[in-house]
């Protein structure tokens, strides 16, 4: 089940710090990537993973993450750098409405593997049956 997870926040007059370590998220980290310079109106994602789990954070700016589990859709608005969205396996995701200058950080349970992707929504629904 997807869920918002608040990261530890260490406040300091010189600037705040948040960390992902140990059991902060429900999987071992094997890959980290980020999206930036997303043009106005562009959408990212548009796929599901069979085995890979992800944790998505709006490090800067904001954007929406639309998740679909095969029976219902839920929209999350990410805008806090110390809060992220856990996305389990077999969950369709779309990212949209990126604010200017936003940065999306994705922490993943697995390295890139094209065979893990389902890139067509109808194929995703059929895969879940």
Q: Please identify every residue annotated as catalytic.
A: 47
Burial of 58 from C-beta contacts in 10 A (0-12 / 13-18 / 19+): buried
| Closest residue by Cα to residue 76 from 58, 54, 100, 101 | 58
3-class secondary-structure state, position 60 = strand
The torsion angles phi and psi of 63, rounded to 5 degrees, stand at: -165, 170
Q: How far apart are CA 116 and CA 49, in angstroms?
A: 5
């Amino acid at each position: 089940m997807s869920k918002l997870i608040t990261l530890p926040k260490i406040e300091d007059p010189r600037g705040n710090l948040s960390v992902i370590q140990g059991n902060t998220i429900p999987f071992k980290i094997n890959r980290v990537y980020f999206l930036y310079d997303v043009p106005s109106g562009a959408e990212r994602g548009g796929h599901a993973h069979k085995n890979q789990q992800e944790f998505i954070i709006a490090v800067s700016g904001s954007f929406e993450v639309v998740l679909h589990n095969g029976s219902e859709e839920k929209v999350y608005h990410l805008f806090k750098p110390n809060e992220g969205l856990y996305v389990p396996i077999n969950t369709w995701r779309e990212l949209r409405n990126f604010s200017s200058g936003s940065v999306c950080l994705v922490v993943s349970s697995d390295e890139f593997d094209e065979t893990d992707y389902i890139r067509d929504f109808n194929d995703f629904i059929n895969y879940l049956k």
